[in-house]
Structure 1
Amino acid sequence: MIIRRITAAVALLLAVVLAAFTWIIASFRIPPQLVRLSYVVSNFGLYLVPLGLLGVLLAVVLYRRGVRRIALVTGLVGVVATVAACFPLVAAWRSAERHGADLSLANYLTYGANTGEPDASKSVVYHRIDGQELKLDVKLPSDGPERARPAVVWVHGGGWVSGDRGEAPKWHKWLNDKGYAVFAIEYRLAPPPRWNQAPADVKCAIGWVRQHAETYGVDPDRIMTAGGSAGGNLALMGAYADDRVKPSCPVPDAADTPDTADAPVAAVAAVAAFYPATDVARGWQDTTMRDTIRKAAEDYTGGTPQQVPEHYKLASPVTYVRKDLPPTLLMHGTRDHVAPYQQSTGLAAKLREFDVPYRLLAVPYGEHAYDFRWGDWGSQVSRHVFSEFLDRYFPANPSNNG
């Protein structure tokens, strides 16, 4: 009797959980309180299939023991949840097929998290300003270069108010393994407002890498920026922003020698942005996570879009779109409740208008920071698409690409 009651209670609890996840999968816009469940669907969705089958199994057990009402409810919810859990799975397979990517179940189950901390042994101060030491971590490929290698300036996320240069270490290693030097940077965080200072620090870091190219075996004319979320915004700003955003330190232009002190900011050769904020004012308006994201945006800009519209405009990469920008890769989850997917589609439309080469990867059912699960389907497809983008626009060995 006790075992039957415990089994019935577990079955009911499981039915509630499965019903919640089924609703999350079926709904596009969800309340902020339930966004964490959307992250589970995004990053652990495959595990919902056996969970749904467990509900069906418990239903069979309870039905045989005479607890038929609970068994029927649990069984029905289990079947529906199992079917619902297959939708993100099928969407991922179709996305992989569309982009020519291979999906690995073993990678999904074993690759773990893509999170980390700054590595003090690799840290270098690239700028001192406002009483702060701004650092970057230098991560080089293990093999010595036959020629000067390209560099990626990686900008961390965190809503412009948090985060550090240790973010996304598996992306750094992945790039190292492909022959790219990675410089994972930090920048001044808000508050106080940093809408013009954070992108200035990114430009400073790009210039620092160019100035120290010989030290690290880097080609000073082959630098790209990359990053996610606020880091995606700043990676785009470092690549797009004109002289309305000046570097926070003297930097050389690509054509200048490292000894040049007061040259204009150097352009980058390419940019990759994960789930970026491209139009900060629209992001303030459209985000589901309004309490969190609006506060971060206001801390960063110094007010609301109504109070400081110019700050929002100048902090948005979409403002600077014009001809001859570097090739751009955008990767964004279609279920992003922090920086909605439309942030990338809107920028893509502007890039298309000005004939800027770009590629947009839509990650089905992907949430914000989906790539923090390194084995997730979206992460696997992103690695394939990123690799193709690099091969086409920013190859590690240009001579091998014809």
Structure 2
Amino acid sequence: MFVRSIFAVIAAAVAVGLALCTFVIARFQVPEPLLRFSLVVSNYGLYLIPAAAVAVGLALLSRLRGGWFSRWFGVLIVVVCVVGAGAAFVPMVASWREAQRHDASLSIGDYLTGGANTGKPDPRLAVGYNTIDNRELLMDVKLPPGAPERPRPAVVWVHGGGWAEGDRGEGPKWHRWLNERGYAVFAIDYRLSPPARWDQAPADVKCAIGWVKQHAGEYRVDPARIMVAGGSAGGNLALTGAYSDSRVPPSCAVTDTAVAAVAAFYPPTDLITGWRDPVLQPEIRQLIEDYTGGTPAQFPDRYALASPITYVRPGLPPTLLMHGTRDHVVPYGQSVELAERLDAVGVARELLPIPYGEHAYDFAWGDWGSQISRKVFGDFLSRHFPAE
């Protein structure tokens, strides 16, 4: 009796979770308390199907010999779980269709074994690239194995964290993935807010790009083949570093900060539009205010200069944007708006929508969105920034 009760509680808990995930799948606008379930759908949706099967089994084991109430309760759990399992197929099918559009092969094995794309800085790889405000700014230098026959291309990687947290250890599997393809990676730290860093953080990114060019010979890097990449706030800074003009000078004595390409995951591209978004979470609006020093009404110029969309013009480097369509931190429309502006001035760009993808979807390295992104990112590199 006790064991059956435990089974029933577990089955009921799973059913409630599946019901909430089904609600999230069915609705685009998700109440803030349910955002964690949107993340589950985005990064771990495949696991909902076996979870539903287990819950159905437990419900049957615990309720078949009970009274009429127990039996009907068990039937309810089974129905909820079956519906939840069916709903879990919706984002999975959408992801597989997106994969077909890009000729990407998806692997269930990779999904199950990919692990988390998170990490920490490695002091053994750390090099200082600037000292400012009595603080040394560091980058982790990650080089492909072996001595190259000719200077190799490099990627300056900018971490996210709402401009207020995070470090250069973010995204280690992307760094390794790039190394395996022959790219040197320079993963950087930059000054974080508060205080307001709307001009200082992108200046640090441009400083890092210039520093890599100045020290290219030490690392067997081609100074003419540097690109910049990053996610979330790091995507914003990567784009700003690649696009901005003399209004955002580097924070150190470098002269050449031009890049050959830029890739950004789920980036804020227009801070004024983002701040005014009525569904924006209050804590995200606060991060924008901490970064800029206030509201758009107080500092419209700061918001403009901190927005990559301000600098769109002909001649910008080829741009790859990857963004989850269910992103509740930085709406997918931010990348759509930038892509349309780039189209209008003839800049080569690619926009990858990740179906049902939440913010930081690529932190789950095996997720469908991450697998598709690797294929699209690899194709983008081959076309616009090849290693050979």
SS of 1:225's partner is strand
Pairwise CA distance, 1:69: 1.2
CA distance in 1, matches of 2:251, 2:232: 22
SS at match of 2:323: strand
- Cα distance between partner residues in 1 of 2:100 and 2:278: 30
For residues 93-114 of structure 1, give each alpha carbon's deviation from its aligned partner in whole angstroms, at most 9, with x where no partner exists: 1111111000111111111011
2:84 match: 81
Question: What SS does the aligned partner of 2:187 have?
Answer: strand
1:350-392 Cα offsets, whole Å, 9 max, x none, are 0000110000000011110000111111000000000000000
Equivalence for 1:124:
127
Q: Distance in 1 between matches of 2:121 and 2:62?
A: 52
Could you tell me how far 1:63 is from its partner in structure 2?
5.0
1:196 to 188, 196, 199: 199
1:211 aligns with 2:214: yes
**How many residues align structurally?**
385
Q: State yes or no: 1:312 paired with 2:303.
A: yes
32-41 vs 173-182, which moves further: 32-41
Offset, 1:21: 1.2
Secondary structure (helix, strand or coil) at the match of 1:143 reads coil
Cα pair 2:95 2:369 within 8 Å, conserved = yes
Query: How do 1:256-295 and structure 2 match up within 5 A?
Result: 266-286=257-277, 288=279, 290-295=281-286
Q: Which moved more, 1:54-63 or 1:13-22?
A: 54-63
Q: Distance in 1 between matches of 2:317 and 2:227?
A: 9
SS of equivalent residue, structure 2 residue 101? helix
Tell me the residue number matched to 1:389: 380
Look up the equivalent residue of 1:32 and give its one-letter code. E
Q: How does 1:1-400 map to 2 (within 5 A)?
A: 1-66=1-66, 67-253=70-256, 266-286=257-277, 288=279, 290-397=281-388
Aligned equivalent of 1:256 = none
Q: Distance in 2 between matches of 1:221 and 1:186?
A: 23
Q: CA deviation at 1:58?
A: 3.1
Mark the runs of 5 or more structure 2 residues left unpaired by the alignment: none
Q: Distance in 1 between matches of 2:222 and 2:8?
A: 65
Give the CA deviation at 1:289: 5.1
Farther off after superposition, 25-34 or 284-293:
284-293
TM-score by length of 1: 0.93
Matching residue's letter, 2:232: S
SS at structure 2 position matched to 1:322 = coil
> Against the structure 1 CA distance between its residues 44 and 86, is the aligned structure 2 distance closer, same or farther, given a 3 Å change threshold?
same
> Which residue identity does 2:64 align to in structure 1?
R
Q: For the residues of structure 2 that align with 1:243 and 1:132, how far apart are their CA atoms?
A: 24
Alpha-carbon distance between aligned partners in 2 of 1:171 and 1:6, rounded to the nearest angstrom: 42
How far, CA to CA, are the matches of 1:7 and 1:53 in structure 2? 13
Q: Do 1:280 and 1:315's aligned partners in 2 also have CA atoms closer than 8 Å? A: yes
Mapped to 2, the partners of 1:5 and 1:149 lie a distance apart of 62
Contact 2:5–2:62 (CA under 8 A) maintained in structure 1 = no
Q: After TM superposition, give the deviation of residue 71 of structure 1 in Å.
A: 1.4
Matching residue's letter, 1:372: F
Is this contact kept in 1: 2:44–2:367, CA < 8 A?
yes
In angstroms, what is the RMSD of aligned CA positions? 1.2
Which piece of structure 1 moves more, 63-72 or 127-136?
63-72
**Percent of aligned positions that are identical:** 63
Question: TM-score, with normalisation over the residues of structure 2?
Answer: 0.97
CA offset at residue 283 of structure 1? Answer: 1.6
Residues 218-269 of structure 1 deviation map (CA, whole Å, 9 limit, x = unaligned): 001110000000000000011100111111111133xxxxxxxxxxxx3100
